[in-house]
Amino acid sequence: MNSVAQNCTTRNTGDDCFAIWPAAFDHSYVQRSPAPGSNVFRYCTGQLPFLANGGAIYGGADNRIENCLFTDISAGCGILISSTFPTADDSYKIDYNFSGTTVVRNCELVRCGGFDHTWAWRAAFQVCMDRRSISGVNISDVTIRDSISDGFSIVAPGSKKGQGTLTNARLDNVNIPNYGRGASARHGLWVREDANGSITIAHSKIVDIQNSSNAFTIVDSGHTRPAETGPKGLIG
């Protein structure tokens, strides 16, 4: 915990360019107090991984990605916030799920949101509630352009297990001027039908918003409007 990676560049990694995962499957560890967290990626650049994502956070407390650039991510997200990997062990009373506030700010994602061989299309920026629900996400001053599929998506495969809820989440000054450079029928911001919970959007310019879930609410707290340029996909 309390680690910082800054001024780093990765290219052609075999998995996530940068990732935070407070794993709980090693039984030699016990519940830490405070919980693992307060780790930061800043002023970093990730490009062209041939699997997975640019910057990923899979749990923990108060982790941050800030002032980073992710480009040409054809196999996944530019940034992924996800509970896909295990962060808890009930038998050892370990729980390192998301807590506090997970922050992404001052980042740019260019030509991200590609095809993941096990997840199909991923957005350039995705919030994924898989094994666990997620609470406390603050995303600000982020530009997502020329995404290969969706610009931003919220998905919840964990809803079948009662773990598909997003709470206390906010987008502030997020700019998505276009999307769908390599895939048709995508969206600037898409909430998939399995998601539960809500997100607040403020002071943002997003070219297209599609909420496909009856159990999810998008709250516009003001000054959010369509971006000036529309979708300019290469297909569809």
Residue 159, C-beta contacts closer than 8 angstroms, at least 6 positions apart: 129, 165, 194, 195, 196
Residue that the structure tokens 């998939």 belong to: 192
Residues 95, 98: Cα–Cα separation, whole Å: 9
The pLDDT tens digits of the residues spanning 164-181 come to 999 999 999 999 999 999
| Residue 235 pLDDT | 35
Residues 79, 202: Cα–Cα separation, whole Å: 20
Specify the pTM: 0.93
Half-sphere exposure of residue 124: CA atoms within 13 angstroms, side-chain side: 36
The pLDDT tens digits of the residues spanning 76-110 come to 999 999 999 988 888 878 889 999 999 999 999 99
157 cis-preceded (ω within 30 degrees of 0): no
CA distances from 116 to 1, 15, 119, 194 (A): 29, 12, 5, 19
User: CA angle, 49 as apex, 45 and 55 as ends, to 5°?
Assistant: 50
CA distances from 78 to 17, 89, 112, 116, 220 (A): 9, 29, 5, 12, 25
Task: Point out the residues of the chain with pLDDT beneath 50.
Answer: 231-236
CB 102 within 8 A of CB 147: no
SS3 54: coil
| Residue 135 pLDDT | 98
| Residue 234 pLDDT | 42
